[in-house]
Amino acid sequence: MALRKKKAKWLVKLLKVIVAVYLLLILYQLIGNVYSKLSNTHEIQVPKEWNLIVVNRWNELPEDYDVELTELSNGQMVDSRIYPYLQEMFDAARTEDVYPVVREGYRTAEEQQEILDDKIQSYINQGYSQVKAERTAKEWVALPGTSEHQLGIAVDINADKSKCSNEEVYGWLTENAYKYGFVLRYPPGKQKITGTSYEPWHYRYVGVDAAKEMTENGLTLEEYVSAAHCCCGSSIW
């Protein structure tokens, strides 16, 4: 009788251990899933359509990305595929006495690194430590491989200041750029999503349909691509 009780107690203990191990395994899996989701919050699957590729601090330029460039009248370069839309947009602005110019177009990785180095040095010259200078510079200048300028389909647009102001250009673009397939890439209040502070001069070509939908719904490129992927399956990929 005593042996049976002892055996029963041992079985109960064993059962408790098994249940505890099982619960720990479930908890471990749940924690792993949560961590995985948090780690991949900003990772976006690369779309097949060239005009919807997302490049930011979390999503680097695809290694096999290639671009054919067209030179503008001021020496800046852009992807040849966006040139007709860019020209059409600028022509439309000029009919309304607004005179935009492309201040920055395509950049190589080397040019991007040079801009970053110059920004770091400027902060060091202001008295920042090396560490603080690098950290601050990276808030404003992308690392090589994470800049949209390396795509050739993003442009920094300012005014021909002999004819109008930057504010006039930014205002016109805000109202009209989407009609030509361009969107304000880094809108205010979206830094946590885009990884970049508000830049009223930085416009990105995404195509007329995407630009219209993004503008009407107040979406960033990250939000638009993520929503399209989740809701439409493989329709845009």
pLDDT in tens, 134-169: 999 988 889 999 999 999 999 999 999 999 999 999
pLDDT value at residue 87: 98
Could you tell me if 99 and 183 lie in one domain? yes
Could you tell me if 59 and 132 lie in one domain? no
pLDDT value at residue 25: 65
pTM of the model: 0.77
196 is in which domain, residue-wise? 46-107+147-237
Number of folded domains that form the chain: 3
pLDDT value at residue 140: 84
Active-site annotation holder among 168, 199, 213, 223:
199
Could you tell me if 89 and 66 lie in one domain? yes
Could you tell me if 152 and 202 lie in one domain? yes
Could you tell me if 95 and 113 lie in one domain? no
Nearest to 145 by CA among 205, 69, 55, 51: 55
Could you tell me if 15 and 84 lie in one domain? no
CATH number at residue 183: 3.30.1380.10
Concatenated DSSP letters of 41-71: TT--PPPSSGGG---SSSSPPPTT----EEE
Could you tell me if 85 and 163 lie in one domain? yes
Residue 2 confidence (pLDDT) above 60: no
pLDDT in tens, 79-109: 999 999 999 999 999 999 999 999 999 999 9
By the 8 A CB rule, do 54 and 222 touch?
yes
Could you tell me if 141 and 233 lie in one domain? no
Could you tell me if 165 and 87 lie in one domain? yes
Could you tell me if 74 and 128 lie in one domain? no
Could you tell me if 195 and 118 lie in one domain? no
Of 94, 118, 145, the domain-final residue: 145
By the 8 A CB rule, do 159 and 93 touch?
no
Give yes or no: 199 in active site: yes
Q: Calculate ∠ Cα 86-220-90, nearest 5°.
A: 15
Could you tell me if 92 and 120 lie in one domain? no
Query: CA–CA separation, 57 vs 25, rounded Å?
Result: 34
**Paired tokens of 146:** 């994470």
Of 16 and 214, the structure prediction assigns the larger pLDDT to 214
